[in-house]
Each structure stands twice: as C-alpha cells, then as structure tokens.
Amino acid sequence: MSLWFAVAAFAVSAGSMAELAITPRHAETPAWQTANLVALLCLFGMAPLGHLFGAGFGILALFRRNERRGFALAGLLVNGAALVLAAGLLMLAKNALGQAR
C-alpha cells in the first residue's frame, strides 16, 4: 500500500507539473488562474500528504503479520526519500528567495 501511495504522489506531481508547463502564459484568464492554483495545490499539498501517508503505511506494514516486508520497506524508502528531497528543495528555495531580496 505504501508503494502505491508513492506512485500516486508521483503521478499527481508529474501531472500538475505538466499542466503548469503546457499552460500558455499570455492568456491570464480566471480559468488559467484557477488551473494554476489547482496544479500548485496538488503539487505542494496533496503530493507531500501522499508521501506522509505512504511512509506511515510502510511503517505499519513492517510490523503487521502476513504483509510483504519487501514492498513495505521499498515503499518506506521511496516515500522517505521523497520527503527528504522535498525538504531539501524547500530549503534551497528559501535560501534563494532570501538572497534575492
């Protein structure tokens, strides 16, 4: 289950980034602004929550009987790596914004 959360969070992130990339910048209509808001909420809201839930399910699966420990460990590692990478990217963005002022 935790590996599925990692795959779903990646799909949400990839889809929202693709939507942001293909949206034309010159047509700033309310629909464009709404689409960008939804994409950013998916990218910065739903994906990290999906990884948190996936890591939690991975920890639970390690201690449950009749669970595949390999999939639990793989999901835990993938979700944990995604969370560490996201935290690192947030720190880089914070530093870049601090230097831009």
Each residue of 5-29: pLDDT tens digit?
A: 777 777 877 877 787 777 776 767 7
Question: Rounded to a whole number, what is the distance in angstroms from the first to the last CA of the chain?
Answer: 43
For 74-86, the pLDDT digits (tens) are: 888 988 888 898 8
Burial label for 46, CB within 10 Å (0-12, 13-18, 19+), is middle
Instruction: Count Cα neighbours of 2 within 13 Å in the Cβ-side half-sphere.
Output: 28
pTM score = 0.65
For 36-72, the pLDDT digits (tens) are: 787 777 777 777 888 888 888 888 888 888 878 888 8
Where in the chain are the domains?
2-100
